[in-house]
């Protein structure tokens, strides 16, 4: 396998049989590291079977200290061994995709009247994640919802296809109150999904231990979960599903390094969504009766997501879920 790519006329990367060379580097260590990470992202995002790349040649010397500080290098035991960058480690580097640095928020346990759990960090604002999707030739991003998003959320929740499983159809005033509750709830972050800045979806990511699902899935302190609406019909189908779902999982794993598992509780009657989640790496743990539905508890682990490189569009969904 041979791949060559030039980055802004400041560096040239050549990949041959798993060895990546860099030439014509005209940037300092900081900018050179950014260019190298762009090359790593492109390679690991487009080549499903590429587990790692070996950094070969003298051109890497100026960048190795910076890459080492980022925790990206796996180095051999001998002085002559060439360092490598592994896909599963690279994709756990938050600064590549997240607008603000991710860190393990200092722990303090609290009791909210229902469960004891770690005090959650303050909610972010604005764009929290962005990723270029090669097969769509555009940028997918997630933004914390605001009340300015009420008209879109209102329209999407009144879509019969969405309401079939969300059961939240109603007035714009009702949906404003709904979004206000989500914004005020410390265990939920409501997000708007955008593609090239066009809003197309509404997501809720939540801490599972404080959620209704917590007792049913044996939630650990940093397990996360998500609810999903794809509101725009033009953004349904395999190319979109295989962009937003892995990216949403990626965001939740990156947001706190202690998150080892993500859960979902789709309706047990939503057979298409269950098949799509299983094809995306989720396992069906059990089915339970929640107050509003018979739910299938689904789960995916950090180790499974990253070691099997599930950010790739290998899933073949029947049709994107609501």
For residues 231 and 185, state if they share a domain. Answer: yes
HEC profile of the chain: CEEEEEECCCEEEEEECCEEEEECCCCCHHHHHHHHHHHHHHHHHHCCCCCEEEECCHHHCCCHHHHHHCCCEECCCCCCCCCEEEHHHHCCCHHHCECCCCCCCCCCEEECCCCEEECCCCCCCCEEEEEEECCCCEEEEEEECCHHHHHHHHHHHCCHHHHHHHCCCCCHHHHHHHHHHHHHCCCEEEEEEEECCEEEEEEEEEEHHHCCCHHHHCCCCCCEEEEEEECCHHHCCHHHHHHHHHHHHHHHHHHCCCCCEEEECCECCCHHHHHHHHHCCCEEEEEEECCCCEEEEEEEEHHHHHHCCCCCCCCCCCCCCC
**pLDDT band at residue 292 under the 50/70/90 scheme:** confident
Residue 220 placed within a domain: yes
| Lowest model confidence (mean pLDDT) among 10-14, 129-133, 172-176 | 10-14
Say which residue the tokens 């995916």 belong to: 300
- pLDDT band (50, 70, 90) for residue 93: very high
Query: CA angle 260-209-242, nearest 5°?
Result: 50
**Residue 317: its pLDDT value, please?**
52
Q: Tell me the average pLDDT of the chain.
A: 90
Return the bridge partners of 45, or none: none
**81 and 203 inside one domain:** no
% of the chain beyond a pLDDT of 70: 93
318 pLDDT exceeds 90? no
Catalytic residue selected from 41, 204, 210, 265 = 265
Do 307 and 52 touch, CB atoms closer than 8 A?
no
Same domain, 101 and 29: no
Considering the domain architecture, whether residues 196 and 147 belong to the same structural domain is answered as yes
- Smallest Cα–Cα separation from 162: which of 214, 225, 236? 236
- pLDDT(78) > 90: no
Final residue of a domain: which of 59, 90, 121?
90
- For the record, the structure tokens of 97 come out as 């995709």
Rounded Cα gap, residues 221 and 230, in angstroms: 28
In a domain, 320, yes or no: no
Instruction: Please state the rounded mean pLDDT for residues 268-283.
Output: 90
- State whether 139 and 271 are in the same domain: yes
The domain boundary, picked from 75, 90, 105, lies at 90
Is 265 labeled as catalytic in the residue annotation?
A: yes
Residue 23 is assigned to a structural domain of this protein: yes
Residues 23 and 59 in one domain: yes
For the chain, how many structural domains are there in total? 2
The residues with which 236 forms a beta bridge, in sequence order, are: none
In a domain, 312, yes or no: no
Q: What is the pLDDT of residues 6-63, one digit of tens each?
A: 555 567 889 998 899 988 777 787 888 888 999 999 999 988 899 999 999 888 999 9
Last residue of some domain: 90, 124, 150? 90
Domain containing 85 equals 2-90
Query: 113: Cβ–Cβ under 8 A, 6 or more apart, which residues?
Result: none
Q: Please tell me whether residues 214 and 252 are part of one structural domain.
A: yes
Is residue 147 in a domain? yes
Q: Is residue 173 part of a domain?
A: yes
Residue 84 has pLDDT above 50, yes or no: yes
Paired strand residues for 204: 190, 227
Rounded distance, CA 297 to CA 96, Å?
A: 31
- Chain CA centroid to CA 47, Å: 18
pLDDT higher than 90, residue 174: yes
- Give the CATH number for residue 290: 3.40.630.30
β-strand pairing of 224-230 with 198-207: antiparallel
pLDDT at 321: 46
Examine the pLDDT at 286 and tell me if it is beyond 70.
Answer: yes
Mean pLDDT of 101-106: 82
Q: Provide φ and ψ at 72, rounded to 5°.
A: -95, -15
Return the CATH number at 67: 3.40.630
Q: Measured between alpha carbons, how far is 302 from 322 in angstroms, rounded to an integer?
A: 24
- pLDDT, position 2: 45
Residues 189-207: tens digit of each pLDDT: 999 999 999 999 999 999 9
Sign of dihedral through CA atoms 72, 246, 306, 59?
negative
């Amino acid at each position: 396998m041979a791949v060559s790519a030039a980055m802004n006329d400041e560096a040239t990367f050549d990949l041959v049989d798993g060895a990546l060379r860099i030439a014509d580097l005209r940037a300092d260590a900081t900018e050179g590291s950014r260019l190298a990470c762009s090359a790593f992202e492109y390679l690991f995002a487009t080549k499903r079977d590429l587990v790692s790349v070996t950094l070969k040649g003298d051109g890497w010397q100026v960048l190795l200290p910076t890459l080492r500080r980022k925790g990206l290098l796996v180095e051999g035991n001998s002085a002559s061994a060439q360092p490598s960058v592994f896909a599963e480690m690279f994709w756990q580097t938050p600064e590549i995709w997240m607008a603000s640095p991710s860190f393990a928020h200092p722990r303090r346990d609290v009791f909210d009247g229902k469960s004891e759990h770690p005090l959650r960090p303050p909610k972010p604002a604005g764009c929290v994640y962005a990723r270029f999707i090669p097969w769509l030739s555009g940028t997918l991003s997630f933004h914390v919802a605001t009340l300015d998003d009420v008209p879109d959320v209102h329209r999407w929740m009144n879509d019969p296809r969405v309401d079939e499983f969300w059961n939240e159809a109603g007035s714009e005033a009702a949906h404003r109150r709904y979004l206000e509750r989500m914004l005020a709830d410390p265990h939920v972050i409501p997000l708007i999904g955008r593609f090239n800045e066009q809003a197309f979806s509404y997501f809720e990511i939540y801490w599972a231990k404080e959620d209704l699902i917590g007792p049913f899935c044996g939630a650990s302190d940093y397990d996360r979960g998500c609810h999903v609406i794809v509101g725009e019909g033009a953004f349904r189908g395999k190319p979109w599903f295989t962009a937003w779902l892995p990216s949403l999982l990626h965001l939740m794993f990156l947001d706190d390094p202690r998150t080892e598992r993500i859960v979902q509780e789709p309706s047990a009657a939503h057979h298409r969504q269950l098949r799509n989640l299983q094809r995306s790496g989720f396992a069906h743990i059990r089915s339970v009766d929640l107050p509003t539905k018979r739910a299938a508890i689904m789960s995916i682990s950090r180790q499974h997501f990253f070691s099997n490189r599930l950010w790739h569009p290998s899933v073949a969904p029947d049709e994107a879920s609501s």
